[in-house]
Structures are given as C-alpha cells and as structure tokens.
Structure 1
C-alpha cells in the first residue's frame, strides 16, 4: 500500500515537472520568436551582427554568473567546466554567429523557416552518430524538409527587406544545424550539471569567443556611437533591452528546464512556435511580405517533421544517449 502511494506521488511529480517543462518551452519559444523581429529591427542599421552577438553573450554571461551567486547547485568537475566552456565557445557562439549574420541579410520569416528544421537535424545526427534506425517514412520526411528548405533558399530574391537573401538563408540553415548539435550535447551534460551552472560556463565560453572575434573583425554599433554624441534613439535601446533580458537571458534559462524532462526532439519541435510568432509579427509590422513559396516551404517542413517524429509514434524509447565520454 505504501509502495503504491509512493508510486502515485512519483507519477504526479513527473507530470508536474513535464507540465513545467512544456510551459517553459512555450515561454522560451515565444520570446525567441519576438527575438527575430527585434533583431531584424536592429541589424544592421543600429548594430552590426557580430557586435550584436558579442553584446548578447557578454550580457548573458554576467547575468548568469550573478544568478549563480543566489542559486546554489552541485559542484562541477574541471572536465565538466571545460566541456561546458567549449560548448559555449564553439556551439552556442557558432549558432549565434550564423544566426545573426543570416537574419541581418534575410527576412524574419525565412530565418524562422530554417529554425524549424531543428527536429530534422536532431534525427539525422541520431542516425549517423547515435545509431538510431532510419525508416522509410523518416527518410521521406527528411527529403520533404530539405526540399522545403531548398525551395526557400533558391526562390527568395533580394529586395528592400532582404539585402542578400541567398546568403542569409544559407547562414540561417547552418545555424539551425549548429543549434541542434547544441541541444543534443546539452541534454547529455544536464544529467550531471545544474541549469544555472551550465549556462554560466556556456555563456562564459561564448562571451570569450565573441570578444576575440569582435576585437579582430572590429566593433560596429551605430546606436552606441550616436548615444556617445548625445543622440539617444530610445526605440532602438528599448528593443535591445528587450532582446538582452527576455530572448537572451530568460529564454536560454528556460530551455535547459525543458531539456531536463522532455525528449530532445520534442524541445526541437517547439521551434514551430517561433515560426508562428515570427510570421504573425513580421507581417503585422511590415518586416516581411506574404510569399506563396514561403508558405509552401513552411508546409513541406511541417509535413516532414510529422513523418520524422509524429507518424513514427514519436519514438517509444527515450532519447538515444550520447556515446560515453573517453
């Protein structure tokens, strides 16, 4: 009787944790969707893409280290710190590098389309490196997804809203792959590391990469230069403040909460919420125009993820683990 009661309590607790994880992902992805619209407003008129990446990474690193002063978590080993630092320096920074450069050249909706490919990348990585089985249905899904991506890349022309759509779309597709790798590795590391500790070292690594790259490539921040002259463009500063506090700090804080209790593929599928939010806001603000090719590309990628994940029963076994560390 006591054992049965404990089992019910554990089940109830897990349901609560999964609800918390799902709500965390909803909030995180809504903020990420608005992030695309905010970045499109700032880049490149008020802020250079690489400088923007550095500012975000440094702000988040400081914010998470300050948060760590109030939240105590289990100590991490030197090896874990190095792994987290490298994940930030190459994984997270690489994602932001490609992502901000891409969105500065294309439209928010197009960038969100490629962001929606994350579940496909997660599955491909699992097949090639984690020995997950590739079924006919999943192969069809992947083909559809890449067909939709190629349709968007090859048909979108450059105009007043997208100054170099081809390059921007290609960079956004690369960024979605890098973020998929980041999700998979983060999932494994979260088994032994606390959320705040993880983000402290990851953003610390990303901040170091950002400072090095910006120091070599040069700093490009017209809004800061204008402020130095006494001309404050408050809308630009308000948008930057929103991006730093919500999509950068809070959104990245919530993603590991989702990863702790949800499958990596489920977390990746939440990227569709980014697409919905970004599309609605972009069309409302005039940051994008309705395009039938974009609509077809969105439909193809949505159907592809249905084949890859939902039609296969969303895989009855848990996330395929990463190979043991040497």
Structure 2
C-alpha cells in the first residue's frame, strides 16, 4: 500500500471518530461530567498513552529549536481546541457543531494565504463567501430558534475551536515531516497535560458523578478518550506526513453527514430545513474552493 493511500485511510478514520465524537461527548456532558472534566480525561490519558509508547518504541530526540513550536501546537490543537469545543458543544447541538466544523478547510486556506503558503483567487473567494454564509446561518439561526444566548454562544465557541484547529494543522505540518507522529503527539499532549492538571483536575475528580455513571455512559467516555482522542489524533498526525493541511481538513466535510445521522438516531437533534440549507451552502463553498486549484491553475 502506498504512503499516500495510507495517509488518506488515516484521515478517513480520524474524521469518522471526530464525527461520532459529537454525539458521544454530548451524552456525557454536562449530566455526568463537566466539559472541563472530559477535557482533562482526554488530554491526560493521551499524554500517558503517547509518552509511554514513544518512550518504549521510538525514543526520538527533539531539537531544542522545535520545542516552542510543539508548545504552540499543543496550545492550539489540544488544550485550546478540545476545551473550547467541549464548552461549545455543552451549549449547542451535535448537528450544529458538525456543520460549523466544515468551515475548517476554508479557515485553513485563509490562514495559509495570510502566511503566503497558498493563494486566494477569485473562485476561492466566492467559495469562502458561500461556505461562510452557511456557517453563519447555523450559528445565528441556532441562537434565535432556541430563544437564548446559550445556543448562540455554543455555536460561536465551536467556530472558535475550528479556528484554533486550523492554525494547529498549519503549525504542526512541518513537525510531522521532521519527526515520527508518536514523538510529536507525546510532546504535544505532554505540554497540554501540564497545563490542564492544575486547572481542570478538580473538576475531573470532584464534579464527576462517579458512582452514578451507567455502563452506557462509561462506554461513551471510553470512546471519546480512546477513539476520538488517541486514535484520531494519531491518524491526523500520520496523515500530515504526506498530505497538505488543506487536503487533511477537506475530509471534515464528511462529519455533518455522520454526526447528524448518529445524533438523530439517538434523539439528540433534528435535521430541519435551515440545517439542510446551511450544509448545502457549506458544501457548495467547499466545492468551489477545492475546484479552484484545477480551474484557475496558471499555465507554465
């Protein structure tokens, strides 16, 4: 199997885990565990997991000049992204969250253009506007239909988590080319755990309803920790060794379809016409952006 095919299989697996994560995380927070507690469980467990495996198998040295970049990636992709996402998901629905998350590729493109690693052309600009309209429709309409600021705040927080993750993909790309994915994950989650242990440890230990958690919720927690954290982040890291950040982020378009199907089956949400229209706009924007590379390619 070629390295490129493996990379695509890695990112497909990661997005399947991320899509299921919306529903399973929502079933855990806030009734059984606070967002801070679940974030603590994900980060600290992943730190032990990746550090243990990296020490036992890779034992790769990291250059001193890359430590600051690893710390920044940790702040953006793990500590910032996971915490902000769970706080937002606590206030909004799985379907809204999944649709908003599809603006990730557009955000990656905008940041890449700002950093001059990619270029925004006319067709890409149209795609960005169309996709952004879809995202804003979900964000604003969600707050209106729920008659309160809570849902709107949740949607905005999910959008902010997408922004931090877009920065993460760009920051971590060069590190993945230089080091083994296990090494990078060990450092990133290690940095994050140092930050969350003193801040969120109390919420995890004291506020979690340990004696009341039923087996089904334990299963959901296990999936969020193992599937949506250990497996998914390793898969993303592995895919970035071969694929560009924009290509990796494009796969997030599959998340609304999977997340909506699971959430509706579990009675957590309903897919109304506004969500359908918003999803169509986002997908249309994505199509325009991705096709621009073919239609607007300059002759040599």
Is TM more than 0.5 here? yes
Shift, 1:87, TM fit? 1.8
Aligned residues: 297
Quick check: 1:236 aligned with 2:220?
no
Does the Cα contact within 8 Å between 2:34 and 2:208 map onto a contact in 1? no
Does the Cα contact within 8 Å between 1:105 and 1:163 map onto a contact in 2? no
> Match of 1:297?
278
Shift, 1:132, TM fit? 3.0
Change beyond 3 A, Cα 1:125–1:262: same
Structure 1 residues 43-82: aligned runs within 5 Å: 43-72=29-58, 74-82=60-68
2:241 counterpart (254, 260, 276): 260
1:129 counterpart (106, 115, 121): 115
> Match of 1:199?
185
RMSD value over aligned CA atoms? Answer: 2.3
**SS state at 2:120 partner:** coil
Long gaps (5+) in structure 2: none
> Match of 1:25?
11
Change beyond 3 A, Cα 1:137–1:44: same
2:75 counterpart (89, 93, 102): 89
1:191-218 superposed Cα distances (whole Å, 9 cap, x missing partner) = 2111000000101111122223325xx5
Change beyond 3 A, Cα 1:36–1:212: same
Moved more, 164-173 or 65-74: 65-74
1:71-109 superposed Cα distances (whole Å, 9 cap, x missing partner) = 225421122234213321344211112100011111111
> Match of 1:35?
21
Which structure shows the bigger proportion of residues in helix conformation? 2
Quick check: 1:174 aligned with 2:142?
no
> Match of 2:203?
219
CA distance in 1, matches of 2:53, 2:35: 27
Quick check: 1:250 aligned with 2:231?
yes
Does the Cα contact within 8 Å between 2:260 and 2:271 map onto a contact in 1? no
Change beyond 3 A, Cα 1:45–1:138: same
Quick check: 1:279 aligned with 2:247?
no
- TM-score where L is the length of structure 1: 0.85
Does the Cα contact within 8 Å between 2:98 and 2:255 map onto a contact in 1? yes
CA distance in 1, matches of 2:149, 2:7: 38
Shift, 1:220, TM fit? 5.5
Shift, 1:234, TM fit? 1.6
Shift, 1:157, TM fit? 4.2
**Which has more radius of gyration?**
1
**SS state at 2:74 partner:** helix
Shift, 1:146, TM fit? 1.3
Does the Cα contact within 8 Å between 2:76 and 2:165 map onto a contact in 1? no
Does the Cα contact within 8 Å between 2:94 and 2:259 map onto a contact in 1? yes
CA distance in 1, matches of 2:294, 2:9: 22
**SS state at 1:156 partner:** helix
Does the Cα contact within 8 Å between 1:73 and 1:194 map onto a contact in 2? no
**SS state at 1:66 partner:** helix
CA distance in 2, matches of 1:169, 1:183: 21
Shift, 1:164, TM fit? 2.2
1:44-67 superposed Cα distances (whole Å, 9 cap, x missing partner) = 111111221111100000000111
Quick check: 1:105 aligned with 2:108?
no
